[in-house]
């Protein structure tokens, strides 16, 4: 079992069950909301227990972002799927290894992706990998 929290500790969560590989999301929403790109992983919603008040921001038609209303730490993205997306850096311990990058077409120009991992223009599922 893995545990995580926001910066102030007002929100704590536990993750039981499998945690997917960590990916980097380079979309403009993640950039705006975090100040950089976001690293996150998916875990089955049924295995995630959240304590404390999470504020949810509906950031798109299909997705909402969960953060601590006190310290502003972002921890979750909820796309209405069976799996909940958890921001890797909010874990207390280490996260699954970074495995790929998504929404690279929207990446800002001020940094480079140099780790050699697969890069997808949009979602990873679309098979639109960039060499
Ligand atoms: Zn907090
Ligand atoms: Zn994103």
Per-residue pLDDT tens over the stretch 10-61: 999 999 989 999 999 999 999 999 999 999 999 999 999 999 999 999 999 9
Distance 52 CA to ligand 1 centre (A): 9
Q: Residue 129 falls within a domain, yes or no? A: no
Q: Which ligand is nearest to the CA of 87?
A: 2
Question: Residue 92 gets which letter from DSSP?
Answer: S
- Are the beta carbons of 103 and 42 closer than 8 angstroms? no
Distance 70 CA to ligand 1 centre (A): 5
**The two three-digit tokens of residue 35, written as one number:** 């100040």
Q: Residue 55 falls within a domain, yes or no? A: yes
Position 129 confidence tier, pLDDT thresholds 50, 70, 90: low
- Summarize pLDDT for 61-77 with one digit per residue, the tens: 999 999 999 999 999 99
Res 82 pLDDT > 80: yes
Q: Residue 53 falls within a domain, yes or no? A: yes
3-state secondary structure 7-34: CCCCCEEEECCCCCCEEEECCHHHHHHH
Q: Residue 44 falls within a domain, yes or no? A: yes
Q: Residue 131 falls within a domain, yes or no? A: no
Domain span at 63 = 2-124
Res 131 pLDDT > 70: no
Position 126 confidence tier, pLDDT thresholds 50, 70, 90: low
In the chain, the number of structural domains is: 1
Give the separation between CA 6 and CA 20, rounded to whole angstroms.
Answer: 20
């Amino acid at each position: 079992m893995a545990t995580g929290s926001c910066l102030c500790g007002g929100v704590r969560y536990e993750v039981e069950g499998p945690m997917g590989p960590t990916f980097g999301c380079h979309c403009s929403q993640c950039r705006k909301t975090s100040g950089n790109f976001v690293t996150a992983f998916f875990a089955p919603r049924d295995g995630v227990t959240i304590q404390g008040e999470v504020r949810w921001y509906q950031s798109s038609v299909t997705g909402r972002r969960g953060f601590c209303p006190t310290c502003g730490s972002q921890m979750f993205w909820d796309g209405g799927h069976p799996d909940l997306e958890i921001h890797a850096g909010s874990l207390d311990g280490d996260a699954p290894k970074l495995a790929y990058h998504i929404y690279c077409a929207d990446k800002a120009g001020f940094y480079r992706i140099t780790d050699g991992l697969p890069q997808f223009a949009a979602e990873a599922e679309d098979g639109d990998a960039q060499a």
